[in-house]
Amino acid sequence: MRTYCSDVEERNVNKYGVNELRKMFLDFFESKGHLVMKSFSLVPHNDNSLLLINSGMAPLKPYFTGQEIPPRKRVTTCQKCIRTGDIENIGKTDRHGTFFEMLGNFSFGDYFKHEAIAWCWEFLTEVVGLEADRLYPSVYLDDDEAFDIWNKEIGIPAERIFRFGKEDNFWEHGSGPCGPCSEVYYDRGEKYGCGKPGCTVGCECDRYIEVWNNVFTQFDNDGHGNYTDLSQKNIDTGMGLERLAAVVQDVESIFDVDTIQALRNRVCELAGKTYKEKHEWDVSIRIVTDHIRSATFMISDGIMPSNEGRGYVLRRIIRRAARHGRLLGIEGDFLANLSSTVIEGSKDGYPELEEKKDFIFNVLTQEESKFNKTIDQGLNILAEMEENMEKEGRTQLSGEDAFRLYDTYGFPLDLTMEILEEKNLTIDEEGFQAAMKEQKEKARKARKVTNYMGADVTVYESIDPAITSEFVGYDKLSWESGVTAMTTEEAVVDALTDGESGTIIVAQTPFYGTMGGQCGDTGVIRCGDGEFVVQDTIHLAGGKIGHIGRMTSGMIKLGDKVELSVNPAGRADTCKNHSATHLLQKALRTVLGSHVEQAGSYVDAHRLRFDFSHFSAMTPEELAKVEQIVNDEINAHLPVRTSVMTLEDAKKTGAMALFGEKYGDSVRVVQMGDFSTELCGGTHVANTGDIAVFKILSESGVAAGVRRIEALTGPGVFAYYKELEDRLSEAAKIVKATPANLAEKLTHLMAEVKQLSSENESLKSKAARESLGNVMDQVKEIKGVKLLAAKADGADMNGLRDLGDQLKEKLGEGVVVLASEKDGKVNLVAMATDSAMAQGAHAGNLIKGIAALVGGGGGGRPNMAQAGGKNPAGIPQAIAEVEKVLEGQLK
Ligand code: ATP
Ligand code: MG
């Protein structure tokens, strides 16, 4: 146990610099068995819940939830963070930045409170040398365990440990893992205090500032406020590096620590202002200082200014910085200049800043000059709007006006808001959002042509037409080249980052772009930790080849030297299919005749399709012959040779050219032994033997005089047979047979089914007959005509008709009416013999007269009629009614 010293002494700490403190922290936790990991990108990876990384814990979430296994159970990081939620605080408090670095130590189911608290204390007091008597821990109200550790193990008197409620000291995010926190506050002395009575730890002023937060993730919240103990308890801590530096260096604010001070001084220098001369200026100086840090780091992680998401956060920050620079009297573009000071101060911890320097400056300057062009005009317009408001006695700017400033002059909403707030005016935010929505709708409707990515075709049209790409992939599957252009789905950009979809264009590529019926390659483009998965490759206007896909990690920017790798299996299978179409064409001409011309083709890694001129459906024999020829040529292992020559020379080789196709002066000729010679720009196998096997799946007509063959090669054929085999086994299993005796078994089964169903028919009519009982007893005579009206159970309409015929026969002459109930529905049949009809009986009208009673309708001829109904309960009444109706019919 350490003894607690209660005397407040003169401060006597070493003035460690920011870069030194970062290293001390990481070294300290490394000595406690932690793995030091590099800061993750500000762009969250696979996490849509967050726009930007805002804590050390955020990028480690998958390790906490157990989705991913951490490289070690103890990890320590210094993580770059952006907190846009703190933007209003910047310049006003001493302790907030939108950008800051968070030091953290993490335990994934390893150590817990005892170690976390002890190491936190050891680092602050022994490593850094802060005086114990200026430090105050806080714990969560109910967390006696943490209280006791501070009190009994560390030796802090009970009255110096603060207990706070859920709001401050319980970390929770909806349902899931959560737990109490323990924070450490540092008392910077009375001069920083608000002087209000009761100002103590927890006061919002800048005297007691929170430096470190230790989160003990120990519960699981089921979403209804029921907490159960987690089996794996975690530690997640966070300490602002700049705040630590501010207390260690004993300076007023984070803007006075060594690295940031250098930047702040640079701002003052550019503005010709002195810090601490005028409060208003100080706020602007701090805002510029903070925002340029945020912007520099965001751009280095590949975020580009835009009107949406992260890009909009960056745009707001850059434009806010630009405006406050103007308020300070800085003229012209100045952000790139300041950014170089940021990079100077932070490249120690973040070497990528130095590497991407030119890119960062470029993005900053472009965005700044774009804004500078309109800012004065915008400010004038806003001043006019304010005048109008004053005249009309309004204090709220309309949504449309705010939107006009946004749309035409590039004023982010919060910038307009901030300017108005200074004069106690507000904005109709809802109206702004509505105007924004309306404009988006309009833009969507106005959008004319879209490509399959849903983007304007004009995205590609805005690329510099001087840019072209060369295909180098006939015999190479990977290649290094420089990025010459990139786009998102909407715009030409300078970089793509994690999660973004878009198109990359390079000077030389091994990726084959969709052409001549052959599908484009897939694969991956890499640069450092940047990875772009290529889902398709296409030819763009002006000789450019576009790699379409998605960034799956990191960033790639304009000018980067990238490694392009084609998916080798996909390419190999595509080559097999393409070469097979050449063999197929020749085989078709051999079997069907020289009128066969290619009318179209499609090949990808999975299948091939070949359309050709021919005027009748192919016979099975012709198909078998064609398939055999192709397989023979595969087995002949013909070498495949390609050469580039003039069109004249090509024609001399007898090469088959596409009818109506325009060729350039030099053409590529693909020869497969002496069997096939074609003009073709596609990729092929080196030897026909590589195709392995060829199988036709179908032959069909697609247009007048045009037939289509679909076929498979190599692994596609095996997959096809495998699937057939699986289906066959499954079918055999169902009828308890083997694939070998399946046909025999099915023949037996079919015969059995036939016999059973005929047996079933006769059983059904027998059953219906029996249900009538001794039916002839029920025969009545109406005006001398015999009538049999009865209910037969369970018979369907067919059964009922059969039964009716039988009874009519038995009856000799007369009328038969039968009703049955089946599956909740009613069937009615009426029949009259010739002599009954002669006396006036009419089966059709009889049915009509009674059908309503069973909820139905129907009718028919005089001798035979039928009807259906929905109400079985009405059957007895209907049968009773027959007598009356018949009586009315008879003469
Ligand atoms: P505060 O109440 O001062 O805003 P917080 O409760 O938001 O702090 P946490 O979310 O616990 O802070 O973050 C952990 C640590 O990160 C804090 O103890 C502090 O040292 C640091 N920190 C948080 N926000 C900022 C910021 N905007 N600028 C600099 N450091 C920060
Ligand atoms: Mg906060």
Same-domain status, 29 and 95 = yes
Same-domain status, 583 and 524 = no
Ligand 1: does its nearest atom lie under 6 Å from the Cβ of 243? yes
Ligand 1 center–CA 209 separation, angstroms: 9
Q: How many CA within 13 A on the CB side of residue 530? A: 26
Same-domain status, 97 and 236 = yes
Q: Per-residue pLDDT averaged across 621-634, rounded?
A: 97
Ranked by mean pLDDT, the top range of 7-11, 241-245, 395-399 is 241-245
Which residue owns the Cα nearest ligand 1 atom 5? Answer: 210
Ligand 1: does its nearest atom lie under 6 Å from the Cβ of 80? no
Ligand 2 center–CA 182 separation, angstroms: 15
pLDDT at 671: 94
Share of the chain above pLDDT 70, in %: 96
Ligand 1: does its nearest atom lie under 6 Å from the Cβ of 104? no
Same-domain status, 160 and 286 = no
| Lowest-confidence pick of 268-282, 509-523, 719-733, 779-793 | 779-793
Q: Is residue 590 part of a domain?
A: yes
Q: What is the DSSP string of 525-561?
A: EEETTEEEEEEEEEEETTTEEEEEEEEEESEEETT-E
Q: Which ligand is nearest to the CA of 237?
A: 1
Report the interhelical angle of 742-771 vs 714-734 (nearest 10°).
Answer: 40
**What single-letter DSSP state applies at residue 594?**
T
Q: Which ligand is nearest to the CA of 98?
A: 1
Ligand 1: does its nearest atom lie under 6 Å from the Cβ of 210? yes
Q: Among 95, 105, 120, 169, which residue has the most ligand 1 atoms within 8 Å of its CB, making it the best to mutate? A: 95
The answer to whether the beta carbons of residues 456 and 490 sit under 8 Å apart is yes
Q: Is 582 annotated as a binding residue?
A: yes
Q: 96 exposed, middle or buried (CB, 10 Å; 0-12, 13-18, 19+)?
A: buried
Q: Among 102, 209, 237, which residue has the most ligand 1 atoms within 8 Å of its CB, making it the best to mutate? A: 102
pLDDT at 456: 45
Q: Is 291 annotated as a binding residue?
A: no
Same-domain status, 469 and 356 = no
How many Å apart are CA 374 and CA 362, to the nearest integer? 19
Q: Which residues partner with 176 through β-bridges? A: 221
Q: 85 exposed, middle or buried (CB, 10 Å; 0-12, 13-18, 19+)?
A: exposed
Q: Per-residue pLDDT averaged across 91-111, rounded?
A: 94
Same-domain status, 245 and 268 = no
| Lowest-confidence pick of 73-87, 332-346, 371-385, 682-696 | 371-385
Ligand 2 center–CA 224 separation, angstroms: 26
Q: What is the CATH number of the domain that holds 877?
A: 3.10.310.40
How many Å apart are CA 287 and CA 97, to the nearest integer? 9
Q: Among 94, 210, 290, which residue has the most ligand 1 atoms within 8 Å of its CB, making it the best to mutate? A: 210
Residue 57's nearest CA partner among 81, 34, 36, 89 is: 81
Q: Is residue 108 part of a domain?
A: yes
Q: Which ligand is nearest to the CA of 54?
A: 1
Q: How confident is the model at residue 443 (pLDDT cuts 50, 70, 90)?
A: low
Q: What is the DSSP string of 18-45?
A: HHHHHHHHHHHHHHTTPEEEPPPPSSPS
Ligand 1: does its nearest atom lie under 6 Å from the Cβ of 630? no
Report the interhelical angle of 399-409 vs 413-421 (nearest 10°).
Answer: 120
Report the interhelical angle of 843-851 vs 875-889 (nearest 10°).
Answer: 140
Ligand 1 center–CA 94 separation, angstroms: 12
Ligand 1 center–CA 509 separation, angstroms: 47
The answer to whether the beta carbons of residues 610 and 708 sit under 8 Å apart is yes
Ligand 1: does its nearest atom lie under 6 Å from the Cβ of 238? yes
Ligand 1 center–CA 240 separation, angstroms: 6
Residues near 23 by Cβ (< 8 Å), separated by ≥ 6? none
Same-domain status, 355 and 246 = no
Q: In b/e form, how buried is each residue of 538-564, taking b as 16+ CB within 10 angstroms?
A: bbbeeebbbbbbebebbbbbbebebeb
How many Å apart are CA 234 and CA 713, to the nearest integer? 54
Q: Per-residue pLDDT averaged across 238-245, rounded?
A: 96
Ligand 1: does its nearest atom lie under 6 Å from the Cβ of 97? yes
The answer to whether the beta carbons of residues 699 and 618 sit under 8 Å apart is yes
Its domain, for residue 845, covers 774-888
Same-domain status, 581 and 556 = no
Tokens of 563: 């490694």
Ligand 2 center–CA 447 separation, angstroms: 43
Which residue owns the Cα nearest ligand 1 atom 27? Answer: 96
Judged against a pLDDT cut of 70, whether residue 355 lies above it is answered with yes
CA 389 to chain centre: 45
Which residue owns the Cα nearest ligand 1 atom 22? Answer: 240
Judged against a pLDDT cut of 50, whether residue 363 lies above it is answered with yes
Ligand 1 center–CA 8 separation, angstroms: 26
How many Å apart are CA 79 and CA 242, to the nearest integer? 12
Residues near 259 by Cβ (< 8 Å), separated by ≥ 6? 17, 18, 19, 345, 346
Q: What is the CATH number of the domain that holds 480?
A: 2.40.30.130
Which residue owns the Cα nearest ligand 1 atom 4? Answer: 96
Residue 564's nearest CA partner among 597, 539, 518, 530 is: 530
Report the interhelical angle of 279-300 vs 335-346 (nearest 10°).
Answer: 70
How many Å apart are CA 575 and CA 730, to the nearest integer? 34
pLDDT at 352: 87
Residue type, position 865, single letter: A
Across the chain, mean pLDDT equals 89
How many Å apart are CA 606 and CA 583, to the nearest integer? 17
Q: How confident is the model at residue 444 (pLDDT cuts 50, 70, 90)?
A: low
Residue 285's nearest CA partner among 329, 235, 245 is: 329
Q: Is residue 346 part of a domain?
A: yes
How many Å apart are CA 567 and CA 587, to the nearest integer? 31
Ligand 2 center–CA 70 separation, angstroms: 28
Q: Per-residue pLDDT averaged across 847-852, rounded?
A: 90
Q: Is 578 annotated as a binding residue?
A: yes
Q: Per-residue pLDDT averaged across 108-117, rounded?
A: 95
Q: Which ligand is nearest to the CA of 255?
A: 1
The answer to whether the beta carbons of residues 54 and 81 sit under 8 Å apart is yes
Q: How confident is the model at residue 3 (pLDDT cuts 50, 70, 90)?
A: very low
Report the interhelical angle of 335-346 vs 309-327 (nearest 10°).
Answer: 110
Ligand 1 center–CA 103 separation, angstroms: 11
How many Å apart are CA 133 and CA 12, to the nearest integer? 13
Tens of pLDDT along 727-754? Answer: 999 999 999 999 999 999 999 999 999 9
φ, ψ for residue 713, nearest 5 deg: -135, 170
Cα-based distances in Å from 878 to 61, 785, 803, 847, 851: 75, 19, 19, 9, 7
φ, ψ for residue 772, nearest 5 deg: -75, -15
Q: How many CA within 13 A on the CB side of residue 370? A: 15
Q: Is residue 408 part of a domain?
A: no
Ligand 1: does its nearest atom lie under 6 Å from the Cβ of 95? yes
CA 190 to chain centre: 52
pLDDT at 770: 76
Domain boundary among 566, 587, 622: 566
Ligand 1: does its nearest atom lie under 6 Å from the Cβ of 845? no
Judged against a pLDDT cut of 50, whether residue 715 lies above it is answered with yes
Q: Which ligand is nearest to the CA of 238?
A: 1
Domain boundary among 373, 399, 426: 373
Q: Is residue 76 part of a domain?
A: yes
Q: Is residue 622 part of a domain?
A: yes
Q: Is residue 627 part of a domain?
A: yes
Ligand 2 center–CA 188 separation, angstroms: 19
Domain total for the chain?
5
Same-domain status, 42 and 157 = yes
Same-domain status, 550 and 627 = no
Residues near 301 by Cβ (< 8 Å), separated by ≥ 6? 41, 42, 43, 497, 555
Tokens of 865: 């009629």
Q: Which atom of ligand 1 is nearest to the CA of 98?
A: 27
How many Å apart are CA 672 and CA 837, to the nearest integer? 86
The answer to whether the beta carbons of residues 311 and 344 sit under 8 Å apart is no
| Lowest-confidence pick of 50-59, 663-672, 691-700, 714-723 | 663-672
Ligand 2 center–CA 488 separation, angstroms: 34
How many Å apart are CA 812 and CA 815, to the nearest integer? 10
The answer to whether the beta carbons of residues 768 and 799 sit under 8 Å apart is yes
Q: 252 exposed, middle or buried (CB, 10 Å; 0-12, 13-18, 19+)?
A: middle
Q: How confident is the model at residue 12 (pLDDT cuts 50, 70, 90)?
A: very low
Q: Which ligand is nearest to the CA of 124?
A: 1
Same-domain status, 531 and 626 = no
Ligand 1: does its nearest atom lie under 6 Å from the Cβ of 233? no
pLDDT at 7: 37
Tens of pLDDT along 395-438? Answer: 999 999 999 888 888 888 888 998 898 888 999 999 999 998 88
Which residue owns the Cα nearest ligand 1 atom 1? Answer: 210
Ligand 1: does its nearest atom lie under 6 Å from the Cβ of 100? yes
Ligand 2 center–CA 97 separation, angstroms: 10
Ligand 1: does its nearest atom lie under 6 Å from the Cβ of 213? yes
Ligand 1 center–CA 487 separation, angstroms: 37
How many Å apart are CA 704 and CA 611, to the nearest integer? 12
Tens of pLDDT along 774-814? Answer: 777 888 888 889 999 988 877 888 888 888 888 888 888 99
Domain boundary among 536, 566, 596: 566
Ligand 1: does its nearest atom lie under 6 Å from the Cβ of 401? no
pLDDT at 663: 65
Gyration radius of the chain's alpha carbons: 43
Ligand 1: does its nearest atom lie under 6 Å from the Cβ of 610? no
Q: Which ligand is nearest to the CA of 97?
A: 1
Which residue owns the Cα nearest ligand 1 atom 29? Answer: 96
Q: Is residue 405 part of a domain?
A: no
Residue 661's nearest CA partner among 685, 681, 684 is: 681
Ligand 1: does its nearest atom lie under 6 Å from the Cβ of 138? no
β-strands 856-860, 864-869 pairing: antiparallel
Q: Which residues partner with 641 through β-bridges? A: 671
Q: What is the CATH number of the domain that holds 623?
A: 3.30.980.10
Ligand 1 center–CA 73 separation, angstroms: 25
Q: Which ligand is nearest to the CA of 168?
A: 1
Q: What is the CATH number of the domain that holds 169?
A: 3.30.930.10
Q: Which atom of ligand 1 is nearest to the CA of 210?
A: 18
Q: Is 684 annotated as a binding residue?
A: yes
Same-domain status, 513 and 488 = yes
